[in-house]
Structure 1
Amino acid sequence: MTHTSKHKDKLLARVRRLKGQIEAVERSLEAGAPCGEVLNLVASIRGAVTGLTGELIEHHIREHVSNPDTDPDRDRAQGAAELMDVVRTYLK
C-alpha cells in the first residue's frame, strides 16, 4: 500500500477544498470582483497547494527513503529528518 493510499481520505479532502477555492476564483472573475479580492483568493490557493506538496513530499520521504521515527540507522534517520525540515522551510 502506498503512502497516498494510506492517507487517501485526508489528501482527497485537501484536493476538494482546493477545487472549491478555484471555483471561488472563477465565480469572482465572472462577477467582476475587484482584482485585490481575486489576488487574495489566488494567494490562498497557492498556500494550499504548497501545503499539499509539503505533505506529499514528507510522506514520500517517510515511506520510500527513511522514516526518522523508526529507522534503526541513526545517520539515515537524521538525514531524512533534516531533509524534511529543509523541504518545509523551502516551501514556506
Structure 2
Amino acid sequence: MSHTVQNKKSLITRVRRISGQVASLERALESDEGCDAILQQAASIRGAVQGLMSQLLEDHLREHVAASNPKAMRDLEPVMAVLRSYLR
C-alpha cells in the first residue's frame, strides 16, 4: 500500500486547508485588502505547501527508499533533516 493511501486523510486535510487559504487570498485581493495582509496570506500558503511537500518527501523516502532497511533509514535521517529545514 502506498504511503499516500496510508496517510490519505491527513494529506486531504492539509490540501483542504491550503485550498481555504487560497480562497481567502482571492477574497482579499478582490476586496482590495492592504498589501500587508495579502503578503501575509501568501506567505502562509507557501508555508502550508512546503509543509505538505515535506511530509510527502519524508513519507516517500521512508516507504520507497529505506523500506525494510534500518541502516538506510539511519543514513537518510540527516538528509531528511536538511529537507525539513530547506522547506521551512
Q: Shorter-chain TM-score category?
A: over 0.9
Identity %: 44
> How big is each residue's C-alpha offset from its partner over 1:36-86, in whole Å with a ceiling of 9 and x where there is no partner?
11110000000000100000000000000015xx634x2x22211121111
Report the 3-state secondary structure (helix = DSSP H, G, I; strand = E; otherwise coil) of the residue aligned with 2:33: coil
TM-score, normalised to structure 1, is 0.89
Report the 3-state secondary structure (helix = DSSP H, G, I; strand = E; otherwise coil) of the residue aligned with 2:40: helix
CA RMSD of aligned residues (A): 1.2
In structure 2, what is the Cα distance between the partners aligned to 1:79 and 1:43? 32
2:73 aligned partner, one-letter code: A
2:83 alignment partner, one of 64, 67, 87: 87
Structure 1 unmatched runs, 5+? none
Between the two structures, name the one with larger relative contact order (CA 8 Å, sep ≥ 6). 2
Deviation at 1:91, TM superposition (A): 1.2
In structure 1, what is the Cα distance between the partners aligned to 2:21 and 2:10? 17
> How big is each residue's C-alpha offset from its partner over 1:11-53, in whole Å with a ceiling of 9 and x where there is no partner?
0000000000000001001111011111100000000001000
| Matching residue of 2:13 | 13
Provide runs of 4+ in structure 1 moved above 3 Å.
none
Q: What is the number of equivalent residue pairs in this alignment?
A: 88
Deviation at 1:2, TM superposition (A): 0.6
In structure 1, what is the Cα distance between the partners aligned to 2:41 and 2:86? 22
